[in-house]
Amino acid sequence: MVQAAKLFFRLDRSQTEIAADLGLTRWQVSRLLTEARSLGIVRIEISPRRQRLPDLEARLQSAFGLRDAIVVQSAETEAQGTDAVARAAAEYLAGMLPKPALIGISWGRTMAAVARSLPQGWAPGVHVVQVNGAVSLRLGMPGTHAVAEAFARAAPGTATMLPAPAILGSATSRAVLQQDRVVADVLRLAEGAPVLVFSLGAAGPDSVHVTSGYLGAEEMAALQARGAVGDLMGRFIDADGQIADPALDDRTLGLGLEALAGCQRSIGVVAGAAKHAVALAALRAHHVNVLITDEATAIFALESCND
C-alpha cells in the first residue's frame, strides 16, 4: 500500500504502470490507494494560491447553498482587500470550464479592479454584455463602459454596451427608454447570459451612485431610512435581499433581480466591512450562487446566518 501510494502521489506514476510494477491488477491498485487515504497513510492538504481559506469556503457553500465560494485572507487596508478579492475573481473567471460564450457584467470600482486583474487570453471569443445602465453624470468616474471594454479586450472577445443612464428621472422615462429597440436588444441579450458577474455596493455617501451623480446625499439618506443596505446591478436591497424602494427601482434601468434566479452562475464580488450587510442580504435572498469575498465578510455572514 505504501509503495503504491509513493509511486502514485510522489512519482506521478499511472495506476496502470503501478499495477505492472507490483504485479497487481489496476483495480487492486485503485483499492490500495483508496484504503491508504482512509487509513491516514495518505493525507491530502489543499494549499491554494492567494492565501485562500478552503474551510471558510466550504462552510459558506454549506450554509447558503452556494455553487462555489472563494475566500481570501483579509488585508490591512480596504484598497488592498478590494485588490485581493478582485484578483481572486479574475482567477476564478479565467479558470471557468467550459469557457462561457456570453457573460453579463455590471460596473463600478470593484468591477473595474476585476477587469484590471484579468489575464490576457482569459476567454477567447467571449461576448461581454453590460447588464445595467452606466452613463456617468460626472467626469473621472472609473468603471462605466470601460469595464465591459476591458473584459472583452483581455479575453479577447467582443462587447455590447448598454447606452443608457443607470437611473432615470421618472418611471415613465425608464419604461419608454427600456422599450427602445437598441436598449431592449441589449437587455434581451443580457437575459440570456449564463454567467452574470457583479459587485455588491454599500448604501451610503460613498456609493458609486452618489459619486457618479445619480443620487444626492439626501436621497441616499432617505434610501437608508427605508432599510437599504446596498445594491447589486444597481438594485438597492434591504437586509432580507428585497427591493428597498420600489419607486427608485422603477426608475432603474437594467436587469432586475429576477434575472439572477435562473442564472447558471450569479457571481457576487465583495470586500470590506462597509459591505458586510449587503453581502449577507444577497446570500440570504440567494441572489448569488458564487461568492468571491474576504475572510472578514465570510465570517460575518456565517455568524449572522441564523439571526
Q: Which domains does the chain have, with CATH numbers?
A: 1-39 (no CATH), 54-304 (3.40.50.1360)
Which cell numbers hold the place of 174?
425608464
Contact 226, 246 (CB under 8 A): no
Between 231 and 22, the more confident residue is 231
For residue 110, the number of C-alpha atoms closer than 13 Å in the C-beta half-sphere is 31
| Alpha carbon distance 19, 12 (integer Å) | 13
What does the pLDDT read at residue 51?
A: 80
| Alpha carbon distance 211, 208 (integer Å) | 5
How far are the Cα atoms of 54, 102, 115, 182 from residue 202, in angstroms, in the given order?
26, 28, 20, 31
Between 45 and 214, the more confident residue is 214
What does the pLDDT read at residue 49?
A: 54
CB atoms within 10 A of CB 156: 13
What does the pLDDT read at residue 212?
A: 83
Environment class of 22 (CB within 10 Å of its CB; exposed 0-12, middle 13-18, buried 19+): middle
Whether the predicted pLDDT of 150 surpasses 80: yes
pLDDT band at 253 (very low <50, low <70, confident <90, very high): very high
| Alpha carbon distance 63, 134 (integer Å) | 34
Global pTM reads: 0.82
Whether the predicted pLDDT of 143 surpasses 70: no
* % pLDDT > 90, the chain: 76
| Alpha carbon distance 262, 214 (integer Å) | 29
| Alpha carbon distance 129, 160 (integer Å) | 5
What does the pLDDT read at residue 46?
A: 59
Whether the predicted pLDDT of 303 surpasses 90: yes
> What's the Rg (C-alpha) of the chain?
23
Whether the predicted pLDDT of 89 surpasses 90: yes
| Alpha carbon distance 191, 176 (integer Å) | 19
Whether the predicted pLDDT of 285 surpasses 50: yes
Torsion of Cα atoms, 45 then 46 then 48 then 51, to 10°: -70
Give the least confident one: 99-103, 144-148, 279-283.
144-148
Whether the predicted pLDDT of 209 surpasses 80: yes
Whether the predicted pLDDT of 140 surpasses 60: no
pLDDT band at 232 (very low <50, low <70, confident <90, very high): very high
pLDDT band at 192 (very low <50, low <70, confident <90, very high): very high
What does the pLDDT read at residue 294?
A: 97
How far are the Cα atoms of 47, 76, 164, 286 from residue 253, in angstroms, in the given order?
43, 36, 8, 22
CB atoms within 10 A of CB 150: 20
